[in-house]
Amino acid sequence: MQFSQRRSAAILAISTLVLVAMMGLPVQAQLGSPLPNLAPVESKVFTAGQSQFFRLWGVQEGFGPVSTDGGCSRCHKQPVIGGGAARLLTFFGKTNPDGSFDQLISEGGPILQPLSNAPFIKSGLCTLQGEQIPADANAIDKRMTAPLFGFGLVDAIADQDILNQVTFEAVNYVSDGIHGVANLVADYKGVIRPGRFGRKAQQPTLLQQVAAAFAHDLGITNPLVFPEDCPQGNCNIDPNCVDNIDPNVPNNNNTASGGKGIFAIADFPRFLAPPPPPNLTGNVLLGQGVFMATGCNECHLPAYQTPLQVFYDIDLNGTQFGPSPSISNQTVGLYSDLLLHDMGVKNKSKFPANTLITGQATNSQWRTTPLWGLGVRTAFWHDGSKKDIPSAILQHSPDGSGEAAVVIQRYQALSPTDQANLLAFLSAL
């Protein structure tokens, strides 16, 4: 099909898509606000979760002994609390001569935690230093802090809808070389499900994403992520560096708590509204037509729909709330299929499959990044290395070996006017 034909067909499809999406979209909230139509109990726990998100954690609550920072809002803050940041997390490991991979857990890997809780120990006797990348690490990866907007809606998308998208792409996008796959990983109940959170879609639930950040970024263990990250791999921690931890705190080794602490933190991103959809007029509307005609939508799926009735866990005992008026039957306009795609040789990470930060994803497979909120970001790509949207587009298949090669060829063949309209649309997301 010629580009002009593709564009005409795409504009027709867009008209239908926009009408359908508008029917399912709730009244839009301001960026950083809660979802509309919260049940009274949801509004209450959102406010409580927001206060937990803002706070800086103390040593007696299990903070440390090493961390990436002292509170969630220290990283998730741009352009408002709950957003992302250009700040990078560092992951390291070692590829051995025989090709095997060592996550260097015995040396503090795979996540670098450069801060120590020593400044917060009242006695002043703790001399523990933050972690450094060990000398034998030869695999170093960077990840940019991702925004949390709309996470509760993403969490509510039915597993089967994500798996159906795998089949749809395999059938309909063969000529373009697009064939996304799900990262099948275990949830906290032991059920194998398609991942949806993380750069590699390695986390299948919002709660696991929060629990992992709680443990590896704040250093606070919890019932879902129990083992302590030992500083530089040394688990013989100086007693001077550990204040007396209150046995009644909801996390750490207190599994009888049911994980109340991580549920309280998760309530904030669960009910955090997504970025509002673009105003589809003028160049923005024309740009959406270019987006569809070029084939960007084949991975950056404009929307999923949540089930008619959504129930979610409120503790680890399986107690649920629902149906949720704020999350049920909602259009999730995230512009991502949540699947893994092979991005080519030049986009390989240093980490192979089956590691803490990959799940089943290979080192050249990446989850399709949601595009909602793209217009308020200041850095792009998983490592923040791209400073503008056109550079990020070209990075999708810089050497022609990735799945997006055909789509990128179409993008490069666009007229300057079409490229400008496409940029107007993406900047409006």
Encode pLDDT of 262-297 as tens digits: 898 999 999 999 999 999 999 999 999 999 999 999
pLDDT at 381: 94
Tokens 């490991």 label which residue?
93
Task: Identify which has the larger pLDDT, 262 or 197.
Answer: 197
pLDDT at 420: 98
Confidence class of residue 186 from pLDDT cuts 50, 70 and 90? very high
For residue 176, the 8-state DSSP code is G
pLDDT at 8: 44
**Residue range 99-112: average pLDDT?**
95
What residues form DSSP beta bridges with 102? 94
pLDDT at 85: 86
Over 50: is that where the pLDDT of 9 sits? no
pLDDT at 223: 86
pLDDT at 252: 47
Neighbour tally for 96: CB within 10 Å: 10
Do β-strands 115-116 and 139-144 pair in parallel, antiparallel, or remain unpaired?
A: unpaired
List the single range of 16-25, 196-205, 229-238, 282-291 with lowest mean pLDDT: 16-25
Mean pLDDT of the chain: 89
pLDDT at 258: 63
List the single range of 91-95, 190-194, 238-242, 329-333 with lowest mean pLDDT: 238-242
Q: Mind listing the pLDDT tens digit for each residue in 153-166?
A: 999 999 999 999 99
Q: Can you tell me the distance from the alpha carbon of 127 to that of 231, in angstroms, rounded to the nearest whole number?
A: 12
Confidence class of residue 245 from pLDDT cuts 50, 70 and 90? low
Residue 329 DSSP SS3: coil
**Residue range 332-341: average pLDDT?**
98
Over 80: is that where the pLDDT of 93 sits? yes
**Residue range 89-116: average pLDDT?**
95
Confidence class of residue 248 from pLDDT cuts 50, 70 and 90? low
Q: At CB < 8 A and 24+ separation, what contacts does 69-72 make? A: 69/115, 69/217, 69/218, 70/115, 70/218, 71/218, 72/213, 72/217, 72/218, 72/265, 72/268
Q: Mind listing the pLDDT tens digit for each residue in 347-380?
A: 999 999 999 889 999 999 999 999 999 999 999 9
**Are the beta carbons of 380 and 392 closer than 8 angstroms?**
yes
Task: Identify which has the larger pLDDT, 261 or 192.
Answer: 192
**Residue range 175-180: average pLDDT?**
96
Over 60: is that where the pLDDT of 67 sits? yes
Confidence class of residue 26 from pLDDT cuts 50, 70 and 90? very low
What residues form DSSP beta bridges with 39? none
Neighbour tally for 44: CB within 10 Å: 12
Distance between the two ends of the chain, CA-based, in angstroms?
28
pLDDT at 27: 45
Encoded tokens for 1? 């099909």
Encoded tokens for 297? 């939508």
pLDDT at 57: 85
Q: Can you tell me the distance from the alpha carbon of 404 to that of 169, in angstroms, rounded to the nearest whole number?
A: 13
Task: Identify which has the larger pLDDT, 318 or 61.
Answer: 318
Concatenating the DSSP letter of every residue in 363-420 gives: TTEEEPPP-TTGGG-SSBSTTS-B-SHHHHHHTTSTTS-STTHHHHHHHHHS-HHHHH
Over 80: is that where the pLDDT of 22 sits? no
**Phi and psi, residue 106, nearest 5°:** -70, -10
Q: Mind listing the pLDDT tens digit for each residue in 118-146?
A: 988 878 889 999 999 999 999 999 999 99
Confidence class of residue 244 from pLDDT cuts 50, 70 and 90? low
Contact residues for 332 (Cβ-Cβ < 8 A; gap 6+): 150, 153, 154, 156, 157, 274, 303, 304, 305, 306
Confidence class of residue 1 from pLDDT cuts 50, 70 and 90? very low
Q: Can you tell me the distance from the alpha carbon of 414 to that of 420, in angstroms, rounded to the nearest whole number?
A: 10
Q: Can you tell me the distance from the alpha carbon of 225 to that of 28, in angstroms, rounded to the nearest whole number?
A: 35
Q: Can you tell me the distance from the alpha carbon of 64 to that of 66, in angstroms, rounded to the nearest whole number?
A: 4
pLDDT at 257: 58
Q: Can you tell me the distance from the alpha carbon of 38 to that of 306, in angstroms, rounded to the nearest whole number?
A: 16
Over 60: is that where the pLDDT of 25 sits? no
Torsion of the alpha carbons at 316, 35, 19 and 390, rounded to the nearest 10: -90
Task: Identify which has the larger pLDDT, 116 or 247.
Answer: 116
**Full-model pTM:** 0.90
Over 70: is that where the pLDDT of 15 sits? no
